[in-house]
């Protein structure tokens, strides 16, 4: 990803522009690039150093939700907007009066994903890995949560590949002198004049040498004010602010231990300022955190966790060794699994499998964990597909959450040693694995997880790279046995500032706040909560693109 020329960085006590964008992540860059393309002067503010431009999108796997794509059709996947919207609404389960705009955003977004989204991105140079992935498979019947078909399209270049065209447009604006970037400018308030938002003010922070994702100081060395005809809030969510996550946790009982899937700068602090300016901040209790987090062996930020993207073959056990009930198989229902695990009074769970399954099925989320896809390296990708040269090897060697053993009893003992408890009964684990293996040997069986595995292998992507052929866990050709301790990983806020379809922020009576816009996670990816309670995956980056584009276009048209 291209860097920002030092001469393009600005530190100023007073900033003037037509459109002021607060937050230099994906949705902010999309909004800024569209406002600039409309002929407006744009100022982009961000509290972090220049090294952290692009925000969370830089670290992402680059998955995008597309409907009826050429990639799907080549794999024999039959999809359409009607089916996708049914899946979306079943998963979102909108049930609040304030969800009306969120539902409208959902309908518009599915139309976008089934219509111009791919062609628009393709025109900008974005390309996709040909093997579509199947996330959030559901399992609750035809009217329940989940993707009926695979829709998760991995961008060639992962998250940085999604950001690149919009960052390039911002670079163009910098060269033209119509875009300015102001890092270490921490906005703390929105300015209004005669009932209209006319800018923002805040602190100029001391320079920081912090690299991307690292924490930076909050020492103020000055004050700034920025004026403009419109302000776009793209400051992200709250996932790096565990105190706020705990405060907003549904029912108020967050687990004692949390890993962070995002940098500490994802603090949600500016949302309060937007609310103080009249914005309606809704659905704060809706969040999207993952139960499959592992500690990064080379952390970049505090409590840095990585999400495992699992295939369906591992046994998923709670902290006491009990198997999660159907359909809570790996990769089927993140929120359902999270709720079930925490209801047992523990903050961790386990995947149990063997080495063959681990190397085939336990993919890792994030751009840095997938150097072949991120670097667009065909040779490296080919080696990974042919030989199982998985990034997981580094975690098997150095990860704090992995144990391996030759027998189930020995594995249980190592699991207990890792947690400092006696929660896993060695004989119970041995019995479970033995009974599971008997189901495999039967060739048919009554195990719904094995039925799901066999069904998944009918899909080409799963058979090729995501789902191992069913075999006995204790088959020595596939050993050793392996267990992975899983922790809760904070990630996304599903609520946010309520917006209309033009990304205008609405007040508590549903009226647009003049001059104020919001996009991306700060807006719940559209409408204050486009996902409702559950996401179908591949929809977060896409929500930033869709809402950021709407915000940039309308903000430019309004001034």
Q: For 263, what's the count of Cα atoms within 13 Å in the CB-facing half-sphere? A: 23
Among candidate residues 240, 243, 295, 245, the one with its CA nearest the CA of residue 263:
240
Token digits of residue 204: 């100029």
Digit-coded pLDDT (tens) for 29-67:
999 999 999 999 999 999 999 999 999 999 999 999 999
Q: Is residue 543 a contact partner of residue 530, using CB atoms and an 8 Å limit?
A: yes
Q: In Å, what is the CA distance from 55 to each residue of 24, 46, 50, 120, 346? A: 7, 10, 10, 22, 32
Among candidate residues 52, 516, 557, 66, the one with its CA nearest the CA of residue 300:
52
Task: Report the C-alpha gap between 488 and 482 in whole angstroms.
Answer: 20
pLDDT of residue 366: 93
Q: In Å, what is the CA distance from 36 to each residue of 155, 170, 191? A: 25, 8, 22
Q: Is residue 496 a contact partner of residue 282, using CB atoms and an 8 Å limit?
A: yes
Among candidate residues 47, 489, 55, the one with its CA nearest the CA of residue 270:
47
pLDDT of residue 11: 67
Greatest pairwise CA separation for the chain in angstroms: 76
Is the whole model's pTM more than 0.75, yes or no? yes
Over 90: is that where the pLDDT of 6 sits? no
pLDDT of residue 389: 67
Over 50: is that where the pLDDT of 7 sits? no
Among candidate residues 340, 330, 280, the one with its CA nearest the CA of residue 511:
280
Over 90: is that where the pLDDT of 253 sits? no
Over 80: is that where the pLDDT of 214 sits? yes
Digit-coded pLDDT (tens) for 469-502:
999 999 999 999 999 999 999 999 999 999 999 9
Among candidate residues 427, 405, 399, the one with its CA nearest the CA of residue 486:
399
pLDDT of residue 319: 98
Compute the average pLDDT of residues 93-114. 98
402-407, Cβ contacts within 8 angstroms, sequence gap of 24 or more: 402/294, 402/482, 402/483, 402/484, 402/485, 403/482, 403/483, 404/355, 404/480, 404/481, 404/482, 404/483, 405/480, 405/481, 406/479, 406/480, 406/481, 407/474, 407/481
Over 90: is that where the pLDDT of 519 sits? yes
Digit-coded pLDDT (tens) for 405-444:
999 999 999 999 999 999 999 999 999 999 999 999 998 8
Over 70: is that where the pLDDT of 88 sits? yes
Q: Is residue 292 a contact partner of residue 350, using CB atoms and an 8 Å limit?
A: no
If one counts every other C-beta atom within 10 angstroms of the C-beta of residue 438, the result is 12
If one counts every other C-beta atom within 10 angstroms of the C-beta of residue 381, the result is 18
Q: What is the dihedral of CA 498, 502, 504, 505, to 10 degrees?
A: 0
The domains found in the chain, sorted by start residue, are 16-61+159-287+491-524 (3.50.50.60), 64-158 (no CATH), 292-489 (3.90.700.10)
Say what percent of the chain tops pLDDT 90: 93
């Amino acid at each position: 990803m291209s860097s920002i020329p030092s001469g393009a960085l600005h530190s100023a006590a007073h900033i003037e522009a037509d459109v002021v964008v607060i937050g230099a992540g994906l949705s902010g860059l999309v909004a800024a690039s569209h406002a600039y393309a409309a002929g407006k002067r744009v100022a982009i503010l961000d509290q972090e150093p220049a090294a952290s431009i692009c925000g969370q999108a830089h670290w992402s796997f680059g998955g995008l939700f597309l409907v009826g794509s050429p990639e799907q059709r080549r794999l024999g996947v039959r999809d359409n907007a009607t089916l996708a919207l049914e899946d979306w609404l079943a998963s979102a389960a909108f049930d609040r009066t304030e969800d009306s705009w969120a539902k409208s955003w959902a309908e518009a977004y599915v139309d976008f994903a089934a219509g111009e989204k791919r062609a628009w991105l393709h025109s900008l140079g974005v390309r996709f890995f040909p093997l579509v992935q199947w996330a959030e498979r559901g399992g609750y019947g035809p009217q329940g949560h989940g993707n009926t078909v695979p829709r998760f399209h991995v961008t060639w270049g992962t998250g940085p590949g999604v950001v690149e065209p919009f960052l390039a447009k911002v670079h163009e604006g910098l060269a033209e002198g119509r875009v300015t970037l102001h890092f270490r400018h921490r906005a703390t308030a929105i300015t209004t004049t005669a009932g209209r938002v006319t800018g923002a003010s805040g602190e100029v922070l001391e320079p920081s040498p912090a690299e991307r994702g690292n924490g930076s100081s909050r020492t103020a060395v000055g004050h700034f004010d920025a004026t403009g005809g419109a302000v776009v809030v793209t400051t992200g969510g709250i996932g790096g602010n565990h105190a706020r996550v705990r405060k907003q946790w549904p029912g108020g009982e967050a687990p004692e231990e949390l890993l962070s899937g995002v940098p500490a700068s994802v603090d949600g602090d500016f949302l309060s300022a937007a609310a103080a300016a009249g914005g309606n901040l809704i659905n704060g209790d809706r969040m999207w955190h993952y139960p499959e987090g592992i500690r990064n062996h080379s952390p970049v930020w505090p409590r840095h966790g990585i999400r495992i993207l699992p295939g369906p073959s591992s046994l998923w056990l709670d902290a006491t060794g009990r198997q999660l009930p159907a359909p809570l198989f790996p990769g089927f229902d993140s929120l359902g699994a999270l709720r079930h695990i925490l209801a047992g009074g523990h903050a961790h769970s386990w995947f149990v499998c063997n080495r063959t399954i681990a190397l085939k099925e336990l993919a890792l989320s994030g751009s840095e964990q997938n150097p072949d896809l991120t670097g667009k390296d065909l040779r490296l990708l080919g080696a990974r597909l042919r030989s199982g040269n998985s990034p997981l090897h580094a975690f098997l060697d150095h990860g704090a959450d992995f144990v391996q053993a030759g027998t189930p009893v020995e594995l249980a003992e190592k699991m207990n040693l890792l947690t400092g408890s006696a929660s896993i009964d060695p004989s119970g684990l041995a019995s479970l694995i033995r009974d599971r293996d008997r189901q495999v040997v039967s060739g048919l069986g009554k195990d719904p997880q094995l039925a799901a595995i066999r069904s998944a292998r009918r899909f080409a992507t799963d058979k090729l790279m995501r789902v191992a052929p069913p075999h006995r866990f204790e088959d020595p050709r596939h050993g050793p046995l392996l267990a992975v301790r899983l922790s809760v990983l904070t990630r996304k806020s599903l609520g946010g500032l309520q917006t209309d379809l033009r990304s205008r922020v609405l007040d508590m009576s549903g009226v647009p706040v003049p001059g104020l816009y919001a996009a991306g996670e700060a807006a719940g990816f559209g409408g204050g909560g486009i996902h409702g309670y559950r996401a179908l995956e591949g929809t977060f980056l896409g929500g930033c693109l869709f809402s950021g584009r709407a915000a940039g276009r309308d903000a430019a048209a309004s001034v």
